[in-house]
Chains A and B, each alone.
Chain A
Amino acid sequence: MTLAEIFSWPHVIDALTLGALYALIAVGYTMVYGIIQLINFAHGEVFMVGTYVALLAVLHTGMPLVAAIALAMLACMALGLLIDFTAYLPLRRRSPGVDAVSIAGLTAFALLAVAYFELGRREVTGLPVLLVTAALALIPLGLLVLALLSMAGRLGRPKGQVASDRLSALITAIGMSLSLQTIAQLLWTADYRAFPASALPAFFGRTIWTVGEPPHQAAILGKEIVIWVAAAVLMVGLGALVSFTRTGRAMRACAQDKETAALMGVNVNSVIGFTFAVGSAMAAIAGVLYAVKVGGNISPRMGYYPGVIAFAAAVLGGIGSIRGAVAGGLVIGITQSVGGGVTLWGLERLAHGLGAIGWEGGRAGLERLVAALAPRISAYDFAFAFGLMILVILVRPWGLFGKPGGKRA
């Protein structure tokens, strides 16, 4: 294998497409982290719900994909706000309700473990499923009631910004993630689905350009160009929003110092809600485009891997930084696409070197390893992505664009 083969056009196109999608998801993690130092583990599920909303809209109303994406964005903005309002906002408020909410988060976690176990065994129907469903329905309801109570001041005097226990927030986030996954499974089943080809614009599958020379020629499809352009426009737009608008300034102010931002007249919780909404809208677009790219992968768990990978991208780029999310997304996309090839190439070079210094045994051994790995190495693409993230944060714990010991939006 040569480097030219590894960095051949099909791989490069794949890397850029993945990278663009990861960047769109990563920005949601990074903006929310930048402002409230919370890893919103439910972000991958927002991505999933957005995809379903668009899919169902297309299937049931036959609306054009663009309209379905717009609807998914709106739905996800509402979902993002709801997640913040029910799960995280109560934790930011100073009130005895905080403990109750973290307990609710833990309960959700436990119940969902049971739900997984029960629903995983297909023969279980009837009462257990009913009970689990009822219990699941009660969780968001309970969180909502707690949030409303705490807003009404019944559980104390909510005021100001008090950092609550980070662990409670983290557990609540995981509980939220699993809740949404399980609710999606109950609503829409665990079956894999796809956008019907008839719902997609014809040019998505058409070859727009052909690049490279045979045998490494590659077609650039319409959908890939759509993904690149959408990601570029959205990221530039988001950067402009944060840098140049009044709301963007308020977001940066809250990221730096919420108390002082409040003293300037900023409604801090509204700004945080807005941040959730914007990140969620991005996730909705990314979800639909991801489903269009991959095809046939829509399921309640579809948010997990892209979510985790995009989180890695956000960390690698420097969590809290939008530029970092873009850079991290691209780097992770490239690593995932070519990491295996580069590893094989490196091992081959090494075998070559061992042969050159006369150690035939070593050379033969390595060559056998390469031969054994070659057909399977693409299964390790996520491992390369995470490996790179670990390497980067060993050297620069604040990531590529982060600030040492700091945080930013």
Chain B
Amino acid sequence: MAEGGTRPAALRLRGVRSGYGALEVLKGIDLEVREGEIVTLIGANGAGKSTTLKTISGLLAIRAGKITLFGTPVGTLQPHEIVGLGLVQVPEGRRLFGDMTVLENLEMGAYLRRDADGIERDLEHCFELFPRLRERARQRAGSLSGGEQQMCAIARALMARPRVLLLDEPSLGLAPLLVQQIFEIIGRLNREGVTVLLVEQNANAALNLAHRGYVMETGRITLSGPADALLADPKVREAYLGH
């Protein structure tokens, strides 16, 4: 959607390279998420989508290029410092603390915050978004179903009061009805003011939700544009939408 074009950039990657050991996965990524947008990053398995998110979050070292968050360079910061600047990731596979209760997981999300009142309000907000979590607050997170775990993982990230939310494959392994529910929530969060970068294999659902999209292949961005244009693009339809 074109109106995003005038807004300032929340997150910007320029020529970002990174990888694991001798293996270079990202071969120069340019990507931009403007304030208030939902941007999706789609691509096949192994294209480097998760690696991109890990590099943005500081879990992987950036080897070349530049990452800025609201204009501040964050490429050399540690993960916890980046969280402190308002960028929070919901990692692939939920990665809940399985031995902790749901409530403790949510409290972990608010780890860097000291405003007890604000935390209490946000907890209430999370329970409103995901009523199931209220019922299961005292239960071990490891005992939740897949859908509940994904809700818990998103709620945990929300407890950090993110300005930019990264989501890595939130639909993975979920039934279609749950996927729809999760995507509705992501849309609602965005309307509440959270900027979203969404990595998805479910390209159809992702492009239907997002304002803009990037297509990634073997460590490079090969295509980008407004989501509806990508949805209509024959190459995208062929490769990622199964038409």
Residues of A within 8 A of B (CB): 94, 153, 157, 159-160, 246, 249-250, 252-253, 256-257, 259-268, 408
Contact = CB atoms under 8 A, between A and B. Distances in A.
Nearest to B107: A249
23 contacts: A153-B76, A157-B62, A159-B61, A160-B60, A160-B61, A249-B100, A249-B107, A253-B97, A253-B108, A256-B97, A256-B98, A256-B99, A259-B91, A262-B80, A263-B59, A263-B79, A263-B88, A263-B91, A264-B109, A265-B84, A265-B160, A266-B80, A266-B111
A250 B76 contact: no
Contacts of A157: 61-63, 76
A336 B83 CA distance: 50
SS class, residues of chain B in contact with chain A: loop
Contact of A94 (B57, B58, B61, B100): B61
Interface of B: 57-63, 76, 78-80, 83-84, 88-89, 91, 95, 97-100, 104, 107-109, 111-112, 156, 160
A259 B107 contact: no
Contacts of A252: 97, 99-100
Given A260-B95, A260-B97, A263-B91, A160 B104 contact: no
Contact of A257 (B62, B83, B88, B97): B97
Given A257-B95, A263-B88, A408-B99, A250 B111 contact: yes
Nearest to B84: A265
A159 B78 contact: yes
Contacts of A246: 107, 111
Contacts of B60: 159-160
Contact of A264 (B61, B78, B108): B108
B77 to A, nearest CB: 9
A55 to B, nearest CB: 40
Given A249-B108, A265-B112, 8 more contacts: A157-B61, A157-B62, A249-B107, A253-B100, A260-B95, A263-B57, A264-B108, A266-B111
A256 B57 CA distance: 19
A252 B105 CA distance: 11
B91 A260 contact: yes
Contacts of B89: 263
B62 to A, nearest CB: 8
Nearest to A257: B95
Nearest to B77: A159
Contacts of B107: 246, 249
